[in-house]
Structure 1
Amino acid sequence: MTETRDVRIKRLKMRSMRRGIKEMDLILSAYADRNLAGMDRGGLDNYDALLHENDQDLYQWVTGQVAPPAHYSDLISDIAQTFQK
């Protein structure tokens, strides 16, 4: 059975909230709440893949300590902007 869009967004929001380090919980849950509903399928696929990355790496990418992989650069930039608001 395939996952509906609404169920997928709920799952991604939950995974955004329950990361492992509190900083990433806060950053990603804020981003997910503001942006997931407006994303197309490709955007959701990319965000879903991002959630499989290590929290320490994600935190360094979002805070600009380390450059993210090219395939995540636009998404990380968008997350970082949300985090700074």
Structure 2
Amino acid sequence: MDGLELRRKRAVYRALHRGTKELDLILGRYAEARVPLMEEAQLASFETVLAAQDPDVDLWIRKGDAPGELSAIVAEIRDFYRL
């Protein structure tokens, strides 16, 4: 298993086990569907989202108001759920 594949597996696990059930479901389902196909730059953005605090991530996803460097990945998550 190469480094990128290991990062993908960790990202999926972290998305499924954030701590709040709502974000576990939102980010976990997205991660299971999309992370296995992500390139390194996109995965790095998703890992940054995973490192953020739950209230911030929740607000970004619900309102689409993410910081500049994360706006693309948050927009993709919102598009995944057709928000």
TM-score (norm 2): 0.88
Structure 2 regions of 5+ residues with no counterpart? none
Cα deviation digits, residues 35-56 of structure 1 (max 9, x gap): 1111111111111111110011
**Does 1:9 find its partner at 2:8?**
yes
Which residue pairs with 1:36 in the alignment? 35
More helix by share: 2
The residue correspondences of 1:35-74 to structure 2 (distance < 5 A) are 35-64=34-63, 67-74=65-72
CA distance in 2, matches of 1:26, 1:81: 15
User: Structure 1 vs Structure 2: percent identity of aligned residues?
Assistant: 28
Cα separation, 2, equivalents of 1:43 and 1:81: 15
Contact 1:16 1:51 in 2 (8 A): yes
Q: How many residues are aligned here?
A: 82
State TM-score, norm by structure 1: 0.86
Tell me the C-alpha RMSD between the 2 structures: 1.6
Deviation at 1:20, TM superposition (A): 1.4
Matched with 2:25 is 26
Unaligned stretches of 5+ in structure 1?
A: none
Question: 2 CA distance for matches of 1:84 and 1:54?
Answer: 23
After superposition, the C-alpha distances for 1:11-42 in whole angstroms (9 at most, x for unaligned) are 11110011111110000011101111111111
